[in-house]
Amino acid sequence: MIYREAGQFKTSYASDQAIFPIAQDRAVVLLALAAAFVGPPLLASEYWLQAILIPLLIYSLAAIGLNLLTGYAGQLSLGTGGFMAVGAYAAFKLTTAFPQVSIVLVFLLSGLVAAGVGLVFGIPSLRIKGFYLAVATLASQFFLVWLFNKVAWFSNYASSGTITAPDRAVLGVTVTGPSATASARYLTALALVTVFALVAKNLVRGRVGRSWMAIRDRDIAAEIIGVRPLRTKLLAFGISSFYCGVAGAELVFLYLGSAETQAFDIGLSFLILFMVIIGGRGSILGSVLGAVFIVLVPIFLTNAPHALGLRLPVALQKQIELMVFGGLIVFFLIVEPRGLARLWQITKEKLRLWPFPH
């Protein structure tokens, strides 16, 4: 009844091709966005900002990046953690070498560095496909992490190999480093995710995204209709790595504050891949939903027994958490193999008919 597009006429191509053609969608998204910008900094406690919302935003960005590559272009990658590490170390090297350069610019440049590395590791994708490509990208994961661990130059010869985010300001407000407030870091992360999600959404709706999907669905057919596999696949690797690189830089600069290569191990690559699979392959919204699921559910499961007044030993609680979390993943994949984004889509279709389904 509420969610119905009756009476909304599209009188121009622009309105027909809008990202959110339905007025209600537009309103909801804009309201949600406004709420996200205003609400948490005013209302949320530091714990919520620091331990939940900031990582959520950063993982969303990384998941969007991987979704472009795996969900849209169909190239399975397990190198996400490695590309994020490239972004983080590049940002660290850049901002320590050029402290006067704006940190936002540093993030973008480190994204570009990651994109370059991604291009190199994307080259095998021209020859190998599917699981074999996953193995090839796995090599990049291990190689990059090993490289940053081995070569002390990357961490400016810190004895512990740890990189630390220095204080950097944007428009006079400190957004990174120990003296930055959680709100400032949250807003920076949110602004970056918003911009890049919008860019990604537009990318996948346009020529580039369509050629990715053509390659994903059947590469030979795509080649026949004139999509160049070399360019398309490498572009997917490059752009995806750019996103991951920015996310990696944010991970250190906005969330952890200091990190070593351990933060970018294979577990991170799997985590991001799970976000994409659970959220929904080939969906920008799905990437965000997947990140929400993976970040929030374990924290909820940790806190739930406590809130109920159950006093379980922490070890038992952790094991229960892992079991329930694993079970939930299996459950969701059985119920909806196409992810949370698909569930949302079904809900929307149902809502359109509600309350008169026939």
Partner 1 sequence: MNARTLLTMALAAAVAAGPAVTTALAAGEMFVPLLVYRTGPYAPNGIPLANGFNDYFNLINDRDGGVNGVRIAFEECETQYDTKQGVECYERLKGRSPVLVNPFSTGITYQLIPKAPGDKIVVHSSGYGMTASADGRWFPWVFNFPMTYWSQASAFVKYVAQQEGGTDKLKGKKIVHVYHNSPYGKEANPTLETLARDLGFELTLLAVDHPGQEQKATWLQVRRLNPAWIYVSGWGVMNQVAVKEAAAIGFPMDHVVGNWWTGTEADVVPAGEGAKGYKSMTFHAPGHGFKVHQDIFKHVYDKGKGAAKREDVGEVLYNRSIINAMLDTEAMRLAMTRFGNKPLTGEQLRWGMENLNVTEKRLEELGMKGMLRPLRMTCENHEGNGTAAVQQWDGKKWTIISDWIEPMRDVVRPKLEAAAVEEAKKLGYVMRDCAKEK
**Sites of contact with partner 1 (CB under 8 A):** 45-47, 50-51, 55, 149, 158-162, 164, 166-167, 177-179, 256-260, 262-263, 265, 299, 302-303, 306, 309, 311-319
Measured from the CB atom, is 12 or 159 closer to partner 1?
Answer: 159
- 54, 127, 183, 325 from 41: Cα distances, Å: 11, 48, 5, 29
CB within 8 Å of 227: residues ≥ 6 apart = 211, 214, 215
Q: Are 74 and 204 in contact (CB under 8 A)?
A: no
Q: How far is the CB of 202 from partner 1 (least distance, A)?
A: 32
Q: How far is the CB of 41 from partner 1 (least distance, A)?
A: 16
Measured from the CB atom, is 52 or 200 closer to partner 1?
Answer: 52
Measured from the CB atom, is 91 or 239 closer to partner 1?
Answer: 91
Q: How far is the CB of 313 from partner 1 (least distance, A)?
A: 4
Enter the DSSP assignment of 173: E
- 294, 298, 334, 335, 337 from 328: Cα distances, Å: 10, 11, 10, 10, 13
| Two structure tokens written together for 342 | 């698909």
Measured from the CB atom, is 231 or 306 closer to partner 1?
Answer: 306
Q: How far is the CB of 51 from partner 1 (least distance, A)?
A: 4
Helices then strands, counting H and E runs in the chain, come out as 15, 4
Q: How far is the CB of 274 from partner 1 (least distance, A)?
A: 15
Give CA–CA dist 179/269, Å, rounded.
30
Enter the DSSP assignment of 209: H
Measured from the CB atom, is 219 or 265 closer to partner 1?
Answer: 265
Q: Are 4 and 355 in contact (CB under 8 A)?
A: no
Measured from the CB atom, is 115 or 145 closer to partner 1?
Answer: 145
Give CA–CA dist 190/37, Å, rounded.
7
Q: How far is the CB of 161 from partner 1 (least distance, A)?
A: 5
